[in-house]
Amino acid sequence: MKTITIDPITRLEGHGKISIFLNDAGDVENAYLQIPELRGFERFAQGRRAEDMPQITSRICGVCPVAHHFASTKALDAAFHVDPPSAAKKLRELLYCGYIIYDHILHFYFLGGPDFVVGPDAPAAKRNILGVLEKVGLDVGKDVIKHRAYGQKITAILGGKATHPVCGLPGGVSKGLSKDEVIEIKDMIVSCVGFAQFTLKVFDDVVLSNKKYMELICSDGYSLKTYNMGLVDKHNKMNFYDGKIRVTDPDGGEFALFDGKEYTEYIGEHVEDWTYMKYPYLKKIGWHGLHDGKNSGIYRVGPLGRLNASDGLATPLAEKEYKRMVETFGGKPIHSTLAFHWARLIELLYATERAKELIEDPKITSTHIRNDVGAPSEGVGVVEAARGTLIHHYTVDSHGLIKKANLVVATTNNAGAITMSVRDAAKAVIKGGKVDEGILNHVEMAFRAYDPCFGCATHTLPGGMPMVVNIYDSKKQLYRRFSRGVDE
């Protein structure tokens, strides 16, 4: 029996909590991560008009409103038994690329990248976008802001609103593109392709050519041999907006390939008594605790999960980078958690290239952007949010009202893996009870690689997300406490 209560403190503060337990010797016995979520949403959705769901769900989170908007819209396509016209699908995917562009830029320059660009041992006050700008120069900084704004602007033009899009409807989109808008978007995208290439060059110069960083990236403390999951097209190439869900095993072989609507056959959700967070796992393998390996049903989603679960990328420049990454790590799958950063930048390049293909497609200005809907029933919509696979599942009654809703969000998919990564990193760096800010950051880097999102706009800026770390001694007494970005 599971009771869901809504805890106002965690919901409002929205910060993550890591609890680390030490043994008598002061080494790490275990570590747990708790991520607050907007809970009870499923009940909240009941009785609402189905066509309002894309707007409502885009408000769940200020970080990935576009992902929720389209997972929801696609669930409605399925529930209303309608296949959108090809131009509508292209417009949705183009908007989606804009979102990936601004979100991945945000992560590299503002959230996760500072660990490398400024350095993992640099003082916390420097490990942020301002520290990055100091290092790479103000002109680059202007470029960062400019291209992030481009991604944002593309989503605003297509989505009809600045932050939370309103264009998605069952069967299509409500707004097409004018010829002037095509020219405006194209100019921005061409510039974004160059900027994505530049960013990979920065990663090359700062991270890949630094022996110390590469040792850190390849070290055991940051390695996890799990299954991987992501959407793929019919050639098994990674896709953000559409396709089948593919799962590969820790050796890289295909484990499963299925339609989104079959997700309940493949994904189970394990509940632990110490947290409200659900731990998804592969049903056919089963839940065997927080372990990696082939016999554990835990999988990873997000940039590295996607690149491991696919056979590469469908655009030339990104595919080239992808091959280089695989070669650098000596083949697939790549188990290094910190490789998420590289994978994310390769996806940034893919998103820009794919957006260019879409905007250059003469059919993108078609005015046939919506098909008629049928009688509603049940539907599942799946997209790849910036941080991983996102599933919306609705049952709609004959009046078009939501009877049942279930959401499996990206950070929840990664819950088991993030918890293990945090534990392993803590074990690797905390010895003999010695803990300080620098050590804490090495633990934090393990979860930051996943770019976890805490439900509702809780990415604080600059430099990371609100976080509390409690360290307990062998008698379970609080030994040290660190917090960051949390008003206490």
- Tell me which residues touch another protein (CB under 8 A): 6, 8, 11-12, 14, 38, 40-41, 44, 56, 59-63, 65, 102, 106, 110, 129-130, 133, 141, 145, 148-149, 152-153, 161-164, 456-457, 459-462, 466, 485, 487
Give one DSSP letter per residue of 44-100, joined into a string. HHTTSBGGGHHHHHHTT-SSSHHHHHHHHHHHHHHHTT-PPPHHHHHHHHHHHHHHH
Phi and psi at residue 476, to the nearest 5°? 65, 20
Tokens of 34: 């708790």
Integer Cα distance of 77 and 63 in angstroms: 24
Query: Which of 150, 322 has the CB closer to another protein?
Result: 150
Q: Which residue has the tokens 């790479």?
A: 136
For residue 486, the minimal CB distance to another protein (Å) is 9
DSSP strand E in 212-316: where?
A: 227-232, 244-248, 254-258, 267-271, 278-282, 299-300
CB of 397 closer than 8 Å to CB of 376: yes
For residue 165, the minimal CB distance to another protein (Å) is 10
Query: Which of 60, 471 has the CB closer to another protein?
Result: 60
Query: Which of 312, 463 has the CB closer to another protein?
Result: 463
For residue 377, the minimal CB distance to another protein (Å) is 25
Query: Which of 132, 282 has the CB closer to another protein?
Result: 132
Query: Which of 41, 213 has the CB closer to another protein?
Result: 41
For residue 467, the minimal CB distance to another protein (Å) is 12
CB of 117 closer than 8 Å to CB of 206: yes
Strand-pairing partners, residue 378, are: 395
For residue 99, the minimal CB distance to another protein (Å) is 10
Query: Which of 119, 463 has the CB closer to another protein?
Result: 463
Alpha-helical segments (H) within 361-409: none
Query: Which of 334, 345 has the CB closer to another protein?
Result: 345
For residue 468, the minimal CB distance to another protein (Å) is 14
Integer Cα distance of 247 and 299 in angstroms: 8
For residue 457, the minimal CB distance to another protein (Å) is 4
Q: Which residues contact 258 (CB under 8 A, 6 or more apart)?
A: 244, 245, 265, 266
Query: Which of 103, 424 has the CB closer to another protein?
Result: 103
Pairing verdict, β 478-484 and 28-34: unpaired
∠ CA 294-295-299, rounded to 5°: 65
Query: Which of 41, 198 has the CB closer to another protein?
Result: 41
Query: Which of 110, 287 has the CB closer to another protein?
Result: 110
Alpha-helical segments (H) within 260-372: 263-266, 303-309, 316-328, 340-360
Can you tell me whether residue 174 is helix, strand or coil?
coil
Integer Cα distance of 68 and 46 in angstroms: 17
Tokens of 357: 């293909």
For residue 129, the minimal CB distance to another protein (Å) is 7
Integer Cα distance of 450 and 377 in angstroms: 35
Query: Which of 60, 346 has the CB closer to another protein?
Result: 60
For residue 201, the minimal CB distance to another protein (Å) is 22
Q: Check whether the bond before 36 is cis (ω within 30° of 0).
A: no
Can you tell me whether residue 302 is helix, strand or coil?
coil
Integer Cα distance of 95 and 117 in angstroms: 30
Query: Which of 110, 222 has the CB closer to another protein?
Result: 110
Pairing verdict, β 267-271 and 278-282: antiparallel
Amino acid at 142: K
